[in-house]
Amino acid sequence: MGVNIEIKAKAKDPENLCRILQKLSETSCEVIPQEDIFFHTAKGRLKLRVLAPERGELIYYERDHIIGPKRSCYLISRCTDPTPLRRLLATSLGVRGIVRKQRLLYKIGNTRIHVDDVEGLGCFLEIEVVLNQGQTTEEGVAVAEAIMQKLGIDPADLVEEAYIDLLQNPGT
C-alpha cells in the first residue's frame, strides 16, 4: 500500500499560488480534468477517477479526518476502459457521489501539489508528500509544513474533509 502525507486548504488566491508553484516546481504544470465517482464502502473510500474515455484509475484510500497534515494509505489500479468498470461498481456498490474538477499538477521532489478548481466548491490546494521506503510520517509532515510555509498557507484555511464530503454536507 502506498503512503503519503496530505494537506488540503482553501485557495484564496489561486493565481498567486500558481505563480509561486511555477518557480518552485521541477516540472511544467500539467492540466488534468478529472471526474471522481465515489462508491459506497464499508470502510475507507473507493473512487474511479476518469481521466479520459480510455484512461482511468480505481483508487482505494484510508485517511484520518483531521485538520493539517494527515497520513493517507492508498492502492491504485490503472485501467484503459473505465466505462464498464464504472457500470460494474455502480451496480454492485452504488454511487455515493461524483466530484468533477480541473487539476493543475506541480511536482517538487516526491511531492505532488494540486491546485483544484472543484465544480460546486471553488479552488483548493492539496499537497501530497509521497513517502519513500523507510521515510517516516514525521519526515513527510515536515516536508508538507515547509511547502505550506513557502506558499503562505494560513492554518485557518486548512480543510479536514474530502471534496465528496464538502459537496454532500455543505455546512461542514
pLDDT in tens, 145-165: 999 999 999 999 999 999 999
Distance CA 86, CA 67 (A): 31
Of 76, 86, 124, 82, whose CA–CA distance to 102 is shortest? 124
Return the pLDDT at 68: 85
pLDDT for 83? 96
Whether residue 129 has pLDDT greater than 80: yes
pLDDT averaged over every residue in the chain = 94
**Does the pLDDT at position 171 exceed 70?**
no
Average pLDDT over residues 129-136: 92
- Inter-residue contact 1 to 73 (CB < 8 Å): yes
pLDDT at 127 over 70: yes
**Cβ atoms of residues 112 and 30 within 8 Å:** no
Average pLDDT, stretch 14-27? 93
Whose grid coordinates read 493517507? Answer: 72
Domains of the chain: 2-168 (2.40.320.10)
Which cell numbers hold the place of 31?
492540466
pTM for this prediction: 0.91
Collect all residues with Cβ–Cβ distance below 8 Å to 25 and sequence separation of at least 6: 106, 107, 108, 113
Nearest-angstrom CA–CA distance, 100 and 168: 13
Residue-wise pLDDT tens digits, 49-86: 999 999 999 999 999 888 889 999 999 999 999 999 99
pLDDT tens by residue, 76-114: 999 999 999 999 999 999 999 999 999 999 999 999 999
CA angle, corner 37, sides to 36 and 41, nearest 5? 120
Cα 73 to the chain's mean position, in Å?
A: 12
* Burial of 172 per CB tally in 10 Å (0-12, 13-18, 19+): exposed
Instruction: Select from 30, 27, 81 the least CA-distant residue to 58.
Output: 81
Q: Which amino acid is at 54?
A: E
| pLDDT given for residue 172 in this prediction | 55
pLDDT at 42: 94
